[in-house]
Amino acid sequence: MTPPKRYSRQREKILEAVRTATVHPTAEMVYETVREEIPNLSLGTVYRNLNLLTEEGKISEVVLEDNIKRYDGNTDDHYHCICESCGRIFDVSLDAEPLVNELAEQIRDFTIDSHKIEFYGHCENCSE
């Protein structure tokens, strides 16, 4: 079903770029970063690998209202805080299980597999 996979330097560097990024990068940002090491890298390859890595669960997508996909190399359970001023996305680890379960009990006619929580507001830099 799923095609076998081979090593590729491009894929390795793309994964590394997402994992080590200090922000949640877009495909374009990953492209620019990896291109410093692999100058003839193509954007198509970046997209192909980001999708592949997402399917494999090695990274995940974050979609905000601007319709641009951003990628997250943090595979631990966590939530996001989105600053409405600078647009940056911050990871937060919260033990939300018990609270979410409590909410889930109120939901009928739907089987919940997973959930997502996003907080919108302002980061420290943009507050004040």
Partner DNA sequence: TTGAGTGCAAACTATTTGCAACTGG
Partner DNA sequence: CCAGTTGCAAATAGTTTGCACTCAA
Distances (CA, A) of 111 to 38, 57, 62, 103, 107: 45, 22, 23, 13, 9
Contact status, residue 12 vs residue 30, Cβ threshold 8 Å:
no
- Residue 92 interacts with, from a copy of itself, DNA, none (CB under 5-8 Å by kind): a copy of itself
Stretch that binds DNA, among 15-23, 43-51, 73-81, 112-120 (CB under 7 A): 43-51
Q: How far apart are CA 102 and CA 31, in angstroms?
A: 42
Residue 74, classified by CB atoms within 10 Å of its CB into exposed (0-12), middle (13-18) or buried (19+), is middle
Q: Which of 92, 52, 54, 96 is nearest to 72 (CA)?
A: 54
Pick between residue 70 and residue 83 the one whose CB is nearest to DNA. Answer: 70
Q: Does residue 108 belong to the site contacting DNA (CB under 7 A)?
A: no
| Residue from the set 12, 36, 55, 61 that interacts with a copy of itself by CB under 8 A | 61
- Residue 22 interacts with, from a copy of itself, DNA, none (CB under 5-8 Å by kind): none
Q: Which of 77, 105, 103 is nearest to 91 (CA)?
A: 77
| Residue from the set 8, 23, 75, 120 that interacts with a copy of itself by CB under 8 A | 120
What's the min distance (Å) between Cβ of 44 and DNA? 3
Structure tokens at 43: 């954007």
- Residue 56 interacts with, from a copy of itself, DNA, none (CB under 5-8 Å by kind): none
Question: What is the binding site for DNA (CB under 7 A)?
Answer: 3-11, 26-28, 38, 40-45, 47-49, 51, 67-69
